[in-house]
Amino acid sequence: MNIIKSVFLVFAFFFLDAPMWAQNPVDQNFSDKITGQDEFPETYSEISNPIPTPVHLWQNKRQNVIGWGNTDTRYKKEEPARVGDISNKVEMTGWKGERVSAQFVVSAVKSPLELSFEVSDLVHNSNKKWRIEQRTISTGFVRYVMTDELNKDKKGACGHRNAKDFDSTLVADPIDHLTKSLLIPKNSTRPGWVKIWIPQNAFPGSYTGTLKVLDGKKVIKKLRIEINVKDRKIPTPQKWRFHLDLWQNPYAAARYYQTELWSKAHFEAMEKDIQHYANAGGKSITASIMNKPWNGQTYDPFQSMVTWKRKINGQWEFGFTAFDKWVEFIIKMGVDKQINCYSMVPWRLSFEYFDEASNSMKIVETEPGEKEYEEMWGAMLTSFAAHLKEKGWFHKTYISMDERPMEVMQETIKVIKAADANFKISFAGGNHPELYEEIDDYCLSMEESFPQEVKEERKNNSKISTFYTSCAHAAPNSFTFSPPAESEWYGWYAASQGLDGYLRWAYASWVKEPLLDSRFTTWAAGDTYFVYPGGRTSIRFEKLLAGIQAYEKILILKEEFRNTNNQKALKELEEILHLFSNNNFDQTTASEVIEKAKLVINSF
Amino acid sequence: MNIIKSVFLVFAFFFLDAPMWAQNPVDQNFSDKITGQDEFPETYSEISNPIPTPVHLWQNKRQNVIGWGNTDTRYKKEEPARVGDISNKVEMTGWKGERVSAQFVVSAVKSPLELSFEVSDLVHNSNKKWRIEQRTISTGFVRYVMTDELNKDKKGACGHRNAKDFDSTLVADPIDHLTKSLLIPKNSTRPGWVKIWIPQNAFPGSYTGTLKVLDGKKVIKKLRIEINVKDRKIPTPQKWRFHLDLWQNPYAAARYYQTELWSKAHFEAMEKDIQHYANAGGKSITASIMNKPWNGQTYDPFQSMVTWKRKINGQWEFGFTAFDKWVEFIIKMGVDKQINCYSMVPWRLSFEYFDEASNSMKIVETEPGEKEYEEMWGAMLTSFAAHLKEKGWFHKTYISMDERPMEVMQETIKVIKAADANFKISFAGGNHPELYEEIDDYCLSMEESFPQEVKEERKNNSKISTFYTSCAHAAPNSFTFSPPAESEWYGWYAASQGLDGYLRWAYASWVKEPLLDSRFTTWAAGDTYFVYPGGRTSIRFEKLLAGIQAYEKILILKEEFRNTNNQKALKELEEILHLFSNNNFDQTTASEVIEKAKLVINSF
């Protein structure tokens, strides 16, 4: 622990006792040393809290508040946890192979705490030799990051934004497994996260253990953990059927970690971040095959993993070295189902290539339907197909497009099929029945839906049908201020709709300082990333994982009930899934619905 | 002749009778159709004259003024030629193989003229069968182009300039062989140019012929031409010893002619422009081996004829396709003595390359003396040397630098020699005795000079020693407003100093509309080009050629006089060359000095 930083935090805290509204968090500069600059950025200081401490909430407290809370709450930094909401014991239920999480919370009332914690092995109630070992349990402080809010009309979060136009608050989201000890100022709250990966071969039954909370070397609280392992098994993530497609951005990683693109250091740095995607059963590899498929909308624009060269004689030449390195890396990480290649119809129809004649990059502006487009992409796809076949990847490669008008899609598909009739195609965008047949991986916006018979036919033809959320959706969503349960809701929703999975356009398109401030110049905060640098996961991401696991469990249960013709159970299952067909959270919350549904699932 | 344009000219002229000073020529837009946009831009309209017609000079004239003038005068468009300065007969003297020029002038007094002219064969006085045929005589209208003036201190013409800060006038400079007929408004002057290329095998003696001046189909004047061909011969240009190094800019040609770089059309368009350089005995091929060697100072920056690529594995890869095409083309044009490659020490030490990792151009900033510089250029020069040897060009290739400090040069030379000890080096810049030994082609600014023994030693070692003029020189110079004889002066000066030749940094680095307006955002007008688009030469360039021919003739005469031990003639020659050792034009003009010297040369 860096003592200088800790002392700084204490001072910062005292300072916060004064009204702070006058201070505009937008103008606050990060320290000179950004969080990604350390070779091993094990810890870091949070951005100071723009919300003043409500001192009256702390004044009547006699002692520190320490106990288990729940995973659906983002505990506020400046407020004490309510004693009535926490307990000394957490009870969880899980299947073999499942990951289950719990959140505890510490509010420092009397004095600052040099907080750390330890978790013991969980021991089987019937036989002390049967254990869920400490090493399969991951823990981390929940950290605070700056967030904003929905657009003022509350209907969504799209469009350019100036930070000063939106309320900014610190919100609990990153799960920081690297910081081992943290100085907690007096009158502030700090949650912690415990995730248990139940071994595939665990013996069913109840396991118990302890979480010790320490102030320096002194144990200040012991909290009990109990987990009930059911005699059911969820397969390892690579075998999951949920089609998870979160777009990776290796360009953001290269910038943040200050590593050369595609260097050994770059890949090493990405390993721990991509690991979470692989462990959540990530299916799609995101590959950019031309520069700026989304017109550079992210803090770090996607460049092309394919080199484009136009020779003096007018011929095109393509290079696949970066593409190969990226795909080989991520396949090795366990994400190997499909490669989605963006984009033949980028958001700006402008294609950049190296011009041999002038030793410079040139831009050609052309669009589907034009001869130049056809020739250029014809040359590219022919060369690409040959290369993919040589690598053995052709069958899993999709030419990918998103949010383009149907007519444009149709012209584009002609060009793709002319180059190789067997090229697969993926599309995330509007609902066009004309395209159902052509699109092998079709992702609709949440409010749209495929007709039931289409979904079935697509499934029979091994075509993928999924849904996505974006800035257009007020809720459910996974902004850093969204209720965490809304990320879990996705998996349940997919199960209820008979969809194959979920897509989100940004897994880790980090902003400048993702650990400190999740706001960006467009969209609501957190839209651009799910996980944090340094292999840090987040409340949102862990909840997404919980939903995906629910999906897998539901598939397994359904199959079992059908095979055993257990109509009663099937009906119960359908009833709880029906709860998810309504995505209007005015009357209820994702958390309440999921809570109900989990009780049923766990009853089987 | 385009009648619409002619009519426009007439109207423009009437308009000019009114005071025009209020009209700011800077703000005058060119017509929508620029001169290079026609496939065969045979004619074009000049920019209108910012100087009002001094009507009183025309009022007392009774008839058109038509006659031979001299080649040292830029006749004003708005003033009538003075009757006393012109004559009906021009007498010229030349050697076999020499090109000699004459200028005639037409001032339209009574009415507009639809001007054209024809030249006859020149017939030998002794035998009518001996002829200098029409086809060896080129003619063209002298056209008017916008120019400006020296800096206000009259000491030079360097630095950025705003057109509005300088007087702008039309000046006679382009020689337009393509326009066959031109409408001359009443009260305006139009010169014409006649250039006779005396055949190598011409019979000595006097030849006479006629220039017919026509208004429409009507001959309005016959002017006599007489040329005295001496029994001396100047070799064909490729055999000339004068080291002429005018930097070509194929990038300007590609832009102006709207052709794709290095395409067939591009080379075809350049042929007629480069022809003048070849016919003036041009020795050096200008090649750019990295992007923007002069930091993009010209209207069309030099890109790299070598492609630079850094592979993901860190290795460098170079491509020479453009370089080869350019060099092959210009060698075929007859410019084949040496290839000057710019630049290892560009004006901004910033090197652009294609980055395989990101499919984009990247810049590395490094300088001589640094390890990165050494590695990068080491890789480049090693690859380049191997390629040059394969092409058989290594012995004639020079790694070229200009205007850099000596310490930088020395560090650079180390890198060059480490890559291949036999690489030749050229340098245009300051006078550094430490570098005399290392530099194979050394060009000093006009005011500097090599010690006599150094010049001799360099000559003995086949090292080239030349001089250059630039914006730093008020006179002599070759701006579009410079007295034409100053361009001729260069050749005489080189002969007087025992130098091998002359360098100028811009042969045809055209501005936006070189035919219309020779001004640029930096330096005085005309600094950036000697010749005009469409294979059009200029008064300046023809005078430069005259000087080079004088140089060749002087070399031949000196050798002859030495061989025949003709001390008297040698002394006469030295005496006239001594006139050129003073480049101060306060007391005399280049024209006067050359006139004197020519009389002597022609007397041999």
Q: Averaged over A107-113, what is the pLDDT? A: 95
Residues in chain A closer than 8 A to B312 (CB atoms): 261-262, 321-322, 325
Which 3 state secondary structure label does DSSP give B245?
strand
Residues in chain B closer than 8 A to A260 (CB atoms): 357
Q: What is the pLDDT of residue A22?
A: 30
Per-residue pLDDT reduced to its tens digit, B532-552: 999 999 999 999 999 999 999
CB contact under 8 A, A360 and B260: no
Q: How far is B260 from chain A (nearest CA, A)?
A: 9
Share of chain A above pLDDT 70, in %: 93
- Tell me which CATH homologous superfamily contains domain A55-230: Immunoglobulins (2.60.40.10)
CB contact under 8 A, B303 and A359: yes
Tokens 């946890």: give the residue: A81
Kindly list the domain boundaries of chain B, sorted by start residue: 3-27+237-603, 55-230
Tell me the C-alpha distance between B307 and B295, whole Å: 17
Residues A268 and A260: beta-carbon distance below 8 Å: no
DSSP A125: S
Looking only at the bridges linking them, the beta strands covering A122-124 and A441-445 are unpaired
Nearest residue on chain B to A307, alpha-carbon basis? B359
CA A403 vs CA A294, A320, A345, B380: distances in Å? 10, 26, 9, 45
Nearest residue on chain B to A309, alpha-carbon basis? B359
Per-residue pLDDT reduced to its tens digit, B428-469: 999 999 999 999 999 999 999 999 999 999 999 999 999 999
Residues B141 and B192: beta-carbon distance below 8 Å: yes
Q: How far is A381 from chain B (nearest CA, A)?
A: 17
Q: How far is A260 from chain B (nearest CA, A)?
A: 9
- Output A465 or B19, whichever has higher pLDDT: A465
Q: How far is A174 from chain B (nearest CA, A)?
A: 30
CB atoms within 10 A of CB B122: 25
CB contact under 8 A, B321 and A356: yes
Q: Which residues pair with B91 in a beta bridge?
A: B226
Tell me the C-alpha distance between A567 and A41, whole Å: 54
Residues B496 and B549: beta-carbon distance below 8 Å: no
Do the domains spanning A3-27+237-603 and A55-230 agree at the CATH topology level?
A: no
Residues in chain A closer than 8 A to B304 (CB atoms): 358-359
pLDDT band at A351 (very low <50, low <70, confident <90, very high): very high
**A–B interface: beta-carbon pairs under 8 A:** 74
Amino acid type, B438:
E
Residues in chain A closer than 8 A to B296 (CB atoms): none
Q: Which residues pair with A87 in a beta bridge?
A: A68
Q: Considering CB atoms only, which of A251, A321, A360 is closest to B356?
A: A321
Find, among A252, A234, A166, the residue nearest to A533 by Cα: A252
Least confident window among A9-18, A52-61, A111-120, A369-378 = A9-18
Nearest residue on chain A to B320, alpha-carbon basis? A356
Residues in chain B closer than 8 A to A252 (CB atoms): none
The pLDDT of residue A25 is above 50: no
CB atoms within 10 A of CB A254: 23
Which tokens hold the place of B171? 């000046």
Helix (H) / strand (E) containing B282: none
Residues B58 and B109: beta-carbon distance below 8 Å: yes
* Threshold 0.90, pTM exceeds: no
pLDDT band at A33 (very low <50, low <70, confident <90, very high): low
Residues B255 and B509: beta-carbon distance below 8 Å: no
- Best of B255, B259, B323, B359 to disrupt the A interface (most A CBs within 10 Å) is B359
* pLDDT, chain B, mean: 92
Residues A274 and A333: beta-carbon distance below 8 Å: yes
Q: Averaged over A312-336, what is the pLDDT? A: 98
SS3 content of chain A, % helix, strand, coil (to 5): 30, 25, 40
Tokens 């008064």: give the residue: B539
Find, among A103, A358, A106, the residue nearest to A215 by Cα: A106
Q: Averaged over B4-18, what is the pLDDT? A: 35
CB contact under 8 A, B307 and A359: yes
The structural architecture, per CATH, of the domain A3-27+237-603 is: Alpha-Beta Barrel (3.20)
Residues in chain A closer than 8 A to B306 (CB atoms): 359
Residues in chain B closer than 8 A to A325 (CB atoms): 312
Q: Considering CB atoms only, which of B261, B355, B356 is closest to A357?
A: B261
Q: What is the pLDDT of residue A296?
A: 85
Tell me the C-alpha distance between B457 and B499, whole Å: 12
Q: Averaged over B44-57, what is the pLDDT? A: 94
Q: Considering CB atoms only, which of B291, B306, B358 is closest to A360?
A: B291
CB contact under 8 A, A308 and B359: yes
Residues A442 and A464: beta-carbon distance below 8 Å: yes
Q: What is the pLDDT of residue B37?
A: 57
Residue A492: exposure state from Cβ atoms within 10 A (0-12, 13-18, ≥19): buried
